[in-house]
Chain A
Amino acid sequence: MRPLTLGRLFLRCGILAIILFIVVVIALKLGAVQVSLYGLGRDLIHVLLGRSNAISTEYGMVVINIRLPRILLGIFVGAALAVAGTSFQALLRNPLADPYVLGVSSGASVGAILALIVENHLALSPAFAGLVTPVGAFLGAALTIGAVYLLGRHNGQIDSSTLLLGGIITASFLQAVINFLMSTVLGGNLRGASYWLMGDLSTPQPRSLLYVLGIGFVIAAGAIYTTAADLNLLLAGEKEAMHLGVDVRRVRIVVYLAASILTGLAVSVSGTIGYVGLLVPHVMRLVFGSDHRMLLPAAALGGAIALVIADTLARTVVAPSELPVGAVTAIVGAPLFIYLLRRRLA
């Protein structure tokens, strides 16, 4: 009997954070341009201490302006998707749930495509120009969240199976809308849309957007974490959970909204990157068990690690070209999924 304590939680998260740090350092080193880590570290420290303003142009511009934001984006998106996946698996009581099962990503895609179409007709100042697609995507996600919530209600509260059905139907409907938009309105200009849909971290995002993402993540993931102990009980049975003092209705709404918002935020900047939200929770469960007080932070860190690795592979394996990161997660994810499945059945 080794119950989870704060100390143990910290220790395990600390180890994962160190692994993440190492992965980030390696990711900073790899790429088209050679980087001297020592020099980079020294310059970063100087900058943090405010001692020098410029970084030597050898690698500074490349690393700080291109690679680092991309890595940070990977951390955020990986963590958001993994936490959302864990939450949906608990909420829907289904090990096959991933962040996209309730249609949020399809809604975001529709929003993004509409934004792409509208953008062609607007002449926006550069400050706003980079925001149209992510904002459009997030609006699409938000509307879908609302619609699926209304569909998923039964007797006034969210019911797991109804929610799942409502989400799947919505996702499938929205996919049809996407196909329609792509074949008619966009006509031949499919490249931008399909690239976005494949999942892509290579587009640098405006700095303001990154801050919004970070804050949104902390708030949404934090909200889910407050229900972590409740989720453990919910998974053991709903009626039992109610009799053990869990406010089932409140927990369901909080988790549904927060996890959907996390998914919406992630998808609006990176498209639909698959397998991270599905598999990272399972792997972390194998290592740390099903207690969500440990599982949620572990999934966040694990998702960040996984996606940074995948993105680094995506941009180095066939250099100078790039693979879409969704392809890398699929190639690695599918065999891993089969392995986990067999292990579970064994």
Chain B
Amino acid sequence: MATYPEECCGILIGRPLPEEEGAQVERLLSAQNVREEESRHNRFLIEPRTILAAQREAEAAGLEIVGYYHSHPDHPPEPSTFDREHAWPGISYVILSVLNGAVEVTRSWRLQDDREDFQEETIDTAIGTPALAFGAR
């Protein structure tokens, strides 16, 4: 939580599990928050060039971008209207609530196809492996 009290963000690389509407995460890529300094406490931005490079790297390894994560410093881990307007369905949006510099709660969300709302999904952490798996609730 080195970025606290600013927001952190990054890319989840792994394998989609289409039959479960979920994904298995193999790698986390932390990304630089390129928002201007005065906005970083409540906004994040990962540049498209960073995402294009991550997408190509993932595909070369037989993997895909399966989601993104960001933190909400001193705020609940629920998607904002702004988050909804800047999302696509079909991938996971993980939000970490960070209180006083420590991760308090982590939740994961998927945008509905009609863009009206996010649905929460479960996060399964496999102890002893770097993998996370997401699934529909």
Partners in one complex: no
Measuring CB to CB, which residues of chain B are less than 8 angstroms from any residue of chain A? none
